[in-house]
Amino acid sequence: MSDAQTIHAGCVLVGEAGLLIRGVSGSGKSTLAREVLSCIRQVGGFARLVSDDRTRIEARHGRLVASPVKPLNGCIEVFGLGIVRQSHEPAAVIRLVIDLCESLPRYPEELDRHAALCGVMVPRVRMQAGAVSADIALGCLSGVCDTVVTL
């Protein structure tokens, strides 16, 4: 089991599934998180922010758990507006990692379909940075199994 790490990422909870969004500054992590939250709430589902910009991750009982980093808990960046407060959850079990990238291959390699974080293998999808893609993220999340593999 690996020790906890703080990474440059955001996280949202959709139902019981955590969605970890990684990418460089300005790649659209906060925007994608807000889009996902909005999409789920519009259909009456449960979705809530866990963290934005900095996320603490750790392995617990073979699962990857994400939580906010103080003093950023309950805060999310809105481009052009700044940092705003929002209700949030204290933690989420990560079911999918989304990596926002500048350039993508047309077809992903099999090795790109998973990420090892803190010794836990989690399904992973690479998506175009800055694209409107909440529907794709949610589609990928709904197809993810509940099973994770510990390294």
Residue-wise pLDDT tens digits, 76-105? 888 888 888 998 999 999 999 999 998 887
Residue 95 token pair: 């079911």
The arithmetic mean of pLDDT across residues 45-61, rounded, is 95
CA distance between the termini of the chain: 9
Residues 13, 94 contacting (CB under 8 angstroms):
no
The arithmetic mean of pLDDT across residues 55-62, rounded, is 96
CA distance 125 to 131: 14
pLDDT band at 73 (very low <50, low <70, confident <90, very high): confident
Average pLDDT, the chain: 88
CATH of 5-146 among 3.40.50.150, 2.30.30.60, 3.40.50.300, 3.40.50.740:
3.40.50.300
pTM over 0.85: yes
The arithmetic mean of pLDDT across residues 102-116, rounded, is 84
DSSP conformational letter for 16: T
Domain ranges for the chain, please list them.
5-146
pLDDT band at 107 (very low <50, low <70, confident <90, very high): confident
Closest of 14, 4, 15, 10 to residue 78, by C-alpha: 10
